[in-house]
Amino acid sequence: MTEATTRNSAARKNEGGVLELIWIVFQALLIALVVRTFLFQPFNIPSGSLVPTLLVGDYLFVSKYSYGYSKYSFPLGLPLFEGRIMGSEPNRGDIAVFKLPKDGKTDYIKRVIGLPGDRIQMIDARLYINGQEAQRTPLPPYHTIDAFGRPADVPHYMETLPNGVSHEIIQKDGDSGYWSNTPVYTVPAGHFFMMGDNRDNSQDSRVLSEVGYVPFENLEGRAEIIFFSIDENASAWKLWEWPSTVRWNRIFQRIK
């Protein structure tokens, strides 16, 4: 075998190795895209609107298949079709990720409180659904920080919705917060009323000009499990700080 033949053989072998690597990378990206689009999407909590259920620094998986698929299920919100396919409406009490109705781009995460046709109202910080007050059981004060960054203990309750779903809420401003008394909201057909568990620090469906009623089409998925959690002021990339900054007790916690 001549030297030229040997070089050509080596070149073809190297070329074949590069093409194989490109094919493997393409397959991996395709699988990741399919999983993210149809099964699970990672999501991190950017604000404290769902404290104490979800904390800033929580990373969670959202099931895309729970409510079926709409154009918002796909990257960049590609308008491949209108409405939903394989749709299944959320249950009251679900924590859901959705696209903000006013721009169709911003991701929000809140709890489903009102279903189509429901009448929702806050009276003295108590939640009323179709004229029925949701049961509110006092819990020990919740340790958090106030608007000035100082430690504070705030009112803390277990709230039970009409379908029996119970979840914790906090009220930094007690029973006299800005949204403690509201008009009656009647949820339109095909829409849902979303609220945060941190009742005095959540921009949600109570603010009609900013969030309002959320169309079924805008729902992206249901929050299922926390797969990672780190202190709010810590950096996830600083692995050497993990022993003291990772919230180990929250990892693999089911969301409810």
User: Which among 49, 70, 205, 229 is annotated as catalytic?
Assistant: 49
Q: Which CATH superfamily is domain 45-254 in?
A: Umud Fragment, subunit A (2.10.109.10)
- The domain locations on the chain are 1-41, 45-254
Percent of the chain with pLDDT over 90: 65
Mean pLDDT calculated for residue range 119-133:
97
Task: Indicate if 47 belongs to the active site.
Answer: no
Give the mean pLDDT of the chain. 87
Task: Indicate if 73 belongs to the active site.
Answer: no
- Report residue 179's pLDDT band, with 50, 70 and 90 as the boundaries: very high
The pLDDT assigned to 28 comes to 60
Mean pLDDT calculated for residue range 154-158:
97
The pLDDT assigned to 154 comes to 96
The pLDDT assigned to 255 comes to 94
User: Which among 64, 99, 110, 172 is annotated as catalytic?
Assistant: 110
- In terms of Cβ atoms closer than 10 Å to its own Cβ (0-12, 13-18, 19+), residue 29 is exposed
- Report residue 251's pLDDT band, with 50, 70 and 90 as the boundaries: very high
Kindly report, residue by residue over 26-67, the tens digit of the pLDDT: 556 655 555 555 567 889 998 999 999 999 999 999 998 889
pTM of the model: 0.83
